[in-house]
Amino acid sequence: MAGSMTVFRKEMADQFGSKRFLILLGIIGLLSIISAYQGVEYLKNNPQRGFLAIFTGQGFGFSFIQLMVYFGPIIGLALGFDAINKERTSGTLSTVLSQPIFRDSVLNGKFLAGTVAVTTLTISTIGLMIGLAIPMLGFGPTIDGAFSIISLTLLTILYLAFWLSLGTLFSVLTKKTSTSMLASVGTWLTCVIVISILASLIANAMVPLPSFQGTFTNRTQGGGFNPEISTEYRALSEQRFTIQSSISKISPTNLYSEAASAILGMAQSRAGFGINNPSPTRTLTLSQGLAASWANIAAIAVGLVICFVASYTKFLRSEIRPGG
Amino acid sequence: MSKPIIETKDLTKIYGDIRAVDHLNLTVDEGEIFGLLGPNGAGKTTTILLLMGLSMPTAGTATVVGHDIIRGSKEVRRSVGLLPEAAGYYEDLTAEKNLEYIGQLNDLPKIECEKRASELLEEVGLTDWSKVKVEKFSRGMKQRLGIAQALIKRPKLVIFDEPTIGLDPAGTKEIRDMILKLNREQGLTVMMSSHLLHEIQLTCTSVGILNKGKMIVEDTIENLARLFSENQGISIEFKLHNATPELFKEIEGIDGVTLVNQQNGVLNVGMKRDVTIEVSKVITKYGAEILLMKPREYSLEDIFMKYYEDGVR
């Protein structure tokens, strides 16, 4: 344990003094200011919604949740992707591991420091948003709302820690930092873009939509043209949506956005293609939200544990040859 | 009797089809400077990695400072300092911080780390550079910092893997003197690997020659040289003035002379037993003058090349 703490202290100094962390903090800070403004705008236009809508409301770009969906993986992977292989190539790993410490201390110390770094990023982002929103709106969250925000913070930390552990796994599995960086970029693209595209492609293949004529039922009453979406079409769309969202669940980003929306009291708004009536968003209490999203949260946690255990197993058995 | 500090028994490491270390039996006694000598790829680094627990042996056992290298690996690492081949440093930290970090990994309290770090930096001549980031260091300075790093735990044994590789002659000498000083003044046992025979000959008291993962020969340097010259007989070098071809023929005819050859004006006479007097008599008889006469000493290089060729065969 002493070894872990020594590595942890050094890694903390490294993380917080690094340009990488400052750049991430800068980007996230800037984007969260923008999303706070948007949230506030949204709230002004939809005054019936509570304070929590600052995290989900979007006017012209990113809400906080979308910010995390797109940039969260980058934060976690960027902080972890070279944790081990950088030390391996620079030759410091053989020096460190020839000291009387267990190998897992190195992983523990590094992972713990990374977790503190993502925690700092999360808390400062959410803090920044609340700090900006309260004076602009003139009111703050309710007690229940505050608990929801705390839950959102914890969920976000867990989500970022998952990406951190995946990055760490890449750094254990590959010898070169360039390879692990490529693996990280590939994973990010897959989770954020490819899976969504794949999901719609599969949905399209499984439930093809009828041709354009079937889309509308033309009820001519009094000579006017009043198109309405046929119930048949609507059923098909629903079916497609179900398929699409189940496939999307492969991606941790979707798991997170569903869980985060539920915690903030919103059932995921339906983003089906071509549906022109916005589906009503139910409002949930925090406990309902947590109940609805516990499976997602568990899945993210399991992913984290799997990555961590895999890194452990691989690292404990690896040969530490100088220069890789 | 001196106590063995490293003892390996049939230590074997196989990578795929390659036997990097093959049934290695090696003993290093306390207080020695032991040189592990061999061509590139002989298994020197692998042996060191196995001893330090950075690599797991395929078969065989070894004890280092009384601890098994597998079960007692952490204890081994507590009392053995290593300067790895191509040692790396945290380039964005100062020399002092690099050293203190290694000290802390050895569970030393902060104050003790700082104290030892400044003492060691003094010892390796880096005091003026202690607050400078390692990225500004030359190769020689980094190597000296590496030695300090190996020493901060106050080890009973230090292992230097190719300590002088890539250094200029002055840097090489500095490192060599440092190793000799550590051994003489602090009685520290040193094991160093090198592919440079000259280096080992100048520094080490004992040597083990490794080839293709096998220990070919292990002995003190004097014993090796003696053993070698006994096998090869005596050889004397003459530098002559006014030598004639008849003279060489006459020498070849002397009983006991096995070999006569002339190269660059130097006559080399190999003999089964010492017949130097007869040879010099013949030389003076032909009116030639002896400018220089000396027994040819076998350098470690000759020994090495002989064993190396045997190994290849």
The ipTM (two decimal places) reads: 0.82
Residues of A in contact with B55 (CB under 8 A): 319-321
Query: What is the pLDDT averaged over residues A73-97?
Result: 93
The distance of A2 to chain B (nearest Cα, Å) reads 7
Q: Do A101 and B161 touch (CB under 8 A)?
A: no
Query: What is the pLDDT averaged over residues A85-103?
Result: 93
- CA nearest to B150 within chain A: A95
Alpha-carbon distance A167 to A84, whole Å?
Answer: 10
Closest Cα to residue A69, out of A193, A169, A179? A193
Query: What is the pLDDT averaged over residues A179-195?
Result: 93
Q: In this complex, which of A2, A9, A322 lies closest to B84 when CB atoms are compared?
A: A322
Q: For residue A1, what are its two tokens?
A: 């344990």
Alpha-carbon distance A117 to A57, whole Å?
Answer: 27
* Cβ-based neighbours of B102, under 8 Å, separated by 6 or more: A95, A96, A99, B149, B152, B153
Give B267's strand partners: B238, B262
Alpha-carbon distance B93 to A17, whole Å?
Answer: 11
Q: In this complex, which of B49, B53, B89 lies closest to A92 when CB atoms are compared?
A: B89
Closest Cα to residue A256, out of A153, A175, A138? A153
- CA nearest to B57 within chain A: A319
The distance of B89 to chain A (nearest Cα, Å) reads 5
Q: For residue B276, what are its two tokens?
A: 């130097």
Residues of A in contact with B89 (CB under 8 A): 90-92, 95
- CA nearest to B82 within chain A: A98
Helix, strand, coil % in chain A, rounded to nearest 5: 75, 5, 25
Check residue A139 and give its pLDDT.
Answer: 87
Q: In this complex, which of A97, A319, A322 lies closest to B86 when CB atoms are compared?
A: A322
Residues of B in contact with A101 (CB under 8 A): 74, 77, 105
Sign of CA dihedral B67, B73, B79, B83: positive
pLDDT at A324 over 60: no
Residues of B in contact with A94 (CB under 8 A): 49, 54, 82, 84, 87-88
Collect all residues from B whose CB is shorter than 8 A from any CB in A. Answer: 45, 49, 52-56, 74-75, 77-78, 80, 82, 84-91, 101-102, 104-107, 146, 149, 153, 161
Q: Do A95 and B84 touch (CB under 8 A)?
A: yes
Q: Work out how many CB contacts closer than 8 A connect A with B.
A: 85
- CA nearest to A315 within chain B: B54
A92 neighbors B89 (Cβ within 8 angstroms): yes
Sign of CA dihedral A41, A47, A52, A58: negative
pLDDT at A182 over 90: yes
**Tens-of-pLDDT digits for all 313 residues of chain B?**
578 999 999 999 998 888 999 999 999 999 999 999 888 888 999 999 999 999 999 999 999 999 999 999 999 999 999 999 888 999 999 999 999 999 999 999 999 999 999 999 999 999 999 999 999 999 999 999 999 999 999 999 999 999 988 888 898 999 999 999 999 999 999 999 988 877 888 899 999 988 888 888 888 877 876 776 666 667 888 888 887 888 888 888 888 888 888 877 788 888 877 788 888 888 888 888 888 888 776 666 666 677 666 655 4
Residues of A in contact with B88 (CB under 8 A): 87, 90-95, 322
Is residue A61 helix, strand or coil?
coil
pLDDT at A282 over 80: no
Q: In this complex, which of A7, A100, A322 lies closest to B106 when CB atoms are compared?
A: A100
Residues B238/B240/B246/B247 CA torsion (nearest 10 deg): -50
Residues of A in contact with B75 (CB under 8 A): 100
Angle (CA) B286-B290-B293 rounded to 5° is 130
- For chain B, the structural domain boundaries read 4-226, 233-297
φ, ψ dihedrals at A250, nearest 5°: -60, -35
Is residue A318 helix, strand or coil?
coil
Give B204's strand partners: none
Q: Do A6 and B101 touch (CB under 8 A)?
A: yes
Q: Do B55 and A321 touch (CB under 8 A)?
A: yes
pLDDT band at A155 (very low <50, low <70, confident <90, very high): very high
Alpha-carbon distance B226 to B197, whole Å?
Answer: 17
Check residue A276 and give its pLDDT.
Answer: 34
The distance of A111 to chain B (nearest Cα, Å) reads 17
Check residue B190 and give its pLDDT.
Answer: 96
- For chain A, where are the E strands, in sequence order? 216-218, 227-229
Q: For residue B263, what are its two tokens?
A: 């190269």
Q: In this complex, which of B78, B84, B101 lies closest to A91 when CB atoms are compared?
A: B84
pLDDT at A158 over 90: yes
Quote the DSSP letter at residue A241: H
pLDDT at A318 over 90: no
E strand or H helix at B160, and its extent? strand B157-161
pLDDT digits (tens, 9 = 90+) for A25-73: 999 999 889 888 888 888 888 887 788 888 887 666 678 888 899 899 9
Check residue A322 and give its pLDDT.
Answer: 65
Check residue A213 and give its pLDDT.
Answer: 55
How long is chain B?
Answer: 313
Is residue B13 helix, strand or coil?
strand
Is residue B81 helix, strand or coil?
strand
Alpha helices (H) along B218-299 = 221-232, 245-253, 276-285
pLDDT band at A163 (very low <50, low <70, confident <90, very high): very high
The topology under which CATH files domain B233-297 is Alpha-Beta Plaits (3.30.70)
The distance of B83 to chain A (nearest Cα, Å) reads 7
Q: Do A94 and B84 touch (CB under 8 A)?
A: yes
The distance of B293 to chain A (nearest Cα, Å) reads 49
Testing the interface with B: which of A6, A94, A101, A318 to mutate, by most B Cβ within 10 A?
Answer: A94
- CA nearest to B162 within chain A: A322
Check residue A226 and give its pLDDT.
Answer: 53
Q: For residue A56, what are its two tokens?
A: 């989900």
Alpha-carbon distance B150 to A98, whole Å?
Answer: 9
Place of tokens 């040189």: B35
Q: For residue B278, what are its two tokens?
A: 């007869």
CB-based burial label for B287 (10 Å; 0-12, 13-18, 19+)? exposed
Check residue A79 and give its pLDDT.
Answer: 95
- For chain A, the structural domain boundaries read 2-216+226-317
Q: For residue B107, what are its two tokens?
A: 């569970």
Closest Cα to residue B162, out of A318, A323, A301, A247? A323
Count of Cβ atoms closer than 10 Å to residue B109 Cβ: 10
Is residue B283 helix, strand or coil?
helix
Task: Give the architecture-level CATH label for domain B4-226.
Answer: 3-Layer(aba) Sandwich (3.40)
